[in-house]
Structure 1
């Protein structure tokens, strides 16, 4: 729970808002949004190193603590650095935080997949994610209200006091994680261990397709907050309200996808999420004929259902459809492939918004998203159908 509040108050749309407050451009915002996924390439080395550990728990606590401390320390930037260094300092601290998080996520995935029995995994994560996203919705709405009533640096300082409290609680709670037995890889050398996922044709085809999908998706989706705050001039409370709506729809969908997962395979359900995400992007084009708020409600509703299912089912696919002894390396390879694509996407997206500033305003507000939606629909009904079919 404290981890959820921590992540919500430091993530979208507050991350974009804080970067704008620090003076970041759209290109810099795109770069920051991309960092979290780019560092996932390090997970391959971490998955190999993890096989040497006798106890995973304390390494998990260490890297979780580093991530929470470094990311929450970005709130001190205006008090420590001169204004011209604010954005650069944020990027350095944020990058270091997510390098630590990369190690922590490999360890956490390995531990949690051993804690939760396979027979209840789909329902468990559905219920778990539903509860946490309900809490995240409340935190999102509260954060937006704070920034609207206390604008500027003082508002962000209030948020960071809550963030620092949650970071401390989260680190303390991780100390109570159980130390579960670790079933190590059957391979002892790096190269055979690394190539094991690459030899699994079904897995690697799905991983590369999902990487292509995320490349197109992250061209536009991470920039939603930028468009709403900077181009449509919507206030923080409305933006956070829309994000709450998206989170609520994710919360509902987690439970539904979890129950469906008891009947249908991870890959089949994962395929069903693709058209929903594509239509969400395509729906931005409705701004040309319908009121702005109505269209944004449609966009965020569809995005919540689609992305909620995509995230949950891709995670279940990696930890459920792979050999237990090699799970860490399969997860690392998947994260590296999709992470690299998700790094390039926001980088290109942020630059594109800089390049199209001289084009008509409609192209900046909804033209790019609608174009991405068309591409994603074509991908879903052609290559996606072939790769994710059982």
Structure 2
């Protein structure tokens, strides 16, 4: 491989952070609450809401084309520019769609989601291969921690500003205009992100033999640790994401959150996540990806249960969930990402590792979304009063997802990572660090108050 100079690498990493910020602006305006809100505006039912998650998950199987296309083109940069550029631009077609009275609007909308998903699945897989070669292995934890922290800040301001703007337009009876503006801006930010990628240097791809289809599909699965990771991901995304299509819809529809309040919920996790991206990044470099991933996935299992206790008049569980989003989902995502990069160490199969990861997680989420959508639609009239609380169809999905997440943990524990510290050692070290910082903070407060510590 043609080695880039240190100056080129540092420049490329800076570009990656700036590009990621604009990509986050695109995602904030063309996904999340705006995608779910637009689906509701177009008259989507529970099953069609579930399809919003299911369709991108299903079309993720197209990521297997990445390895073949990279071999055919000989470049990852041009392939990413083409697929990401078009994939982020297709939502401009929504503009005339919003101003028509066709009953088929929701079907065209879902078709656009599928088209964008296909292109972005290929772009994401190739980009992952590209960035994994660009970032030095010893800097991965800190770099992705810093990058994700900056992206979190961007997402916080984007979500809050866009949410407030959307609420204002809704109050004026201009909800349709709000969605038109949101998706137009999203396309603009997406194009800027794509243009910035033209400035990011690409390490030369090492000479490879012509890819064999069997090797593309099953080669990485011959490696025991990657195979164990694949099994865990398949089971976790098949069962642990059963409630994923309904969180935002539950906030908007059943808990009567405004777009601004949904933005505040997102902001809580985003703001807290800024610090914890850096914290978990350093922890990964110190203890390894595996223990950080295991610890955080264990805590992620608690989160769906919180939603069972939320009501329109008692929103504390939602705010606690927002805090945990910033603390433990940050660690789970960053840890899993770095664990994948650590295990995907064969340059001959680079794109195959990431394609399998994308397809397995995508198909798992697809089946889970279809199953969840079908169940939610079948029990749409479900209503249970227990201990003075009301439970509805979405609560059944939250309960199932929480139980499933804990049941998946033994599969994650089977994965081994060379050089990583034991999970128990990591927990003890992090606990001691937390206690030391709390004690130091206590002394600072006591000194400020003029009180001497007895310790």
Matched with 2:445 is none
Q: Are 1:22 and 2:72 counterparts?
A: no
Matched with 1:377 is 406
Q: Please state how far the C-alpha of 1:379 moved relative to its aligned partner.
A: 2.7
Q: Please state how far the C-alpha of 1:71 moved relative to its aligned partner.
A: 3.0
Higher helix share: 1
8 Å contact from structure 1 (residues 26, 354) kept in 2 = yes
Name which of structure 1's ranges 135-144 and 358-367 shifts more when overlaid on structure 2.
Answer: 358-367
Matched with 1:318 is 340
Using the alignment, how far apart are the partners of 1:187 and 1:198 within structure 2? 19
CA-to-aligned-CA distance 1:67-98 (integer Å, 9 cap, x gap):
1111343344213x443121111111111111
8 Å contact from structure 1 (residues 28, 350) kept in 2 = yes
8 Å contact from structure 1 (residues 63, 103) kept in 2 = yes
Q: Are 1:74 and 2:102 counterparts?
A: no
Matched with 2:57 is 37
Which of 240, 253, 261 matches 2:276? 253
Q: Please state how far the C-alpha of 1:180 moved relative to its aligned partner.
A: 2.2
Name which of structure 1's ranges 202-211 and 312-321 shifts more when overlaid on structure 2.
Answer: 312-321
Name which of structure 1's ranges 363-372 and 33-42 shifts more when overlaid on structure 2.
Answer: 363-372
CA-to-aligned-CA distance 1:298-331 (integer Å, 9 cap, x gap):
1222233333222222222222222241221111
8 Å contact from structure 1 (residues 254, 312) kept in 2 = yes
Name which of structure 1's ranges 177-186 and 50-59 shifts more when overlaid on structure 2.
Answer: 177-186
Matched with 1:123 is 142
Name which of structure 1's ranges 353-362 and 103-112 shifts more when overlaid on structure 2.
Answer: 353-362
Q: Which of structures 1 and 2 has the larger relative contact order (alpha carbons within 8 angstroms, sep 6+)?
A: 1
Q: Are 1:386 and 2:414 counterparts?
A: yes
CA-to-aligned-CA distance 1:226-271 (integer Å, 9 cap, x gap):
1111122221111121122222333333212111101122222211
Q: Are 1:293 and 2:327 counterparts?
A: no
Using the alignment, how far apart are the partners of 2:209 and 2:280 within structure 1? 33
Q: Are 1:364 and 2:393 counterparts?
A: yes
- SS state at 2:105 partner: helix
8 Å contact from structure 1 (residues 57, 179) kept in 2 = yes
Distance 1:75 1:308, change over 3 A: farther
Distance 1:304 1:74, change over 3 A: farther
Using the alignment, how far apart are the partners of 1:23 and 1:96 within structure 2? 21
Using the alignment, how far apart are the partners of 2:124 and 2:207 within structure 1? 17
Matched with 2:122 is 103
Matched with 2:182 is 159
Using the alignment, how far apart are the partners of 1:72 and 1:251 within structure 2? 31
TM-score scaled by structure 2?
0.80
Task: For structure 1, list consecutive stretches of 5 or more residues without a partner in the other structure.
Answer: none
Distance 1:153 1:256, change over 3 A: same
Matched with 1:6 is 26
Which of 186, 199, 216 matches 1:176? 199
Matched with 2:307 is 284
Using the alignment, how far apart are the partners of 2:207 and 2:395 within structure 1? 49
8 Å contact from structure 1 (residues 2, 166) kept in 2 = yes
Which of 207, 215, 235 matches 2:258? 235
Using the alignment, how far apart are the partners of 2:54 and 2:249 within structure 1? 14
Using the alignment, how far apart are the partners of 1:135 and 1:257 within structure 2? 19
8 Å contact from structure 2 (residues 241, 401) kept in 1 = no
TM-score scaled by structure 1?
0.92
- SS state at 1:292 partner: coil
Kindly tell me the number of residue pairs found equivalent between the two proteins: 387
Which of 291, 308, 316 matches 2:330? 308
Using the alignment, how far apart are the partners of 1:68 and 1:323 within structure 2? 30
Q: Please state how far the C-alpha of 1:342 moved relative to its aligned partner.
A: 1.1
Using the alignment, how far apart are the partners of 1:268 and 1:183 within structure 2? 32
- SS state at 1:362 partner: strand
8 Å contact from structure 2 (residues 242, 400) kept in 1 = no
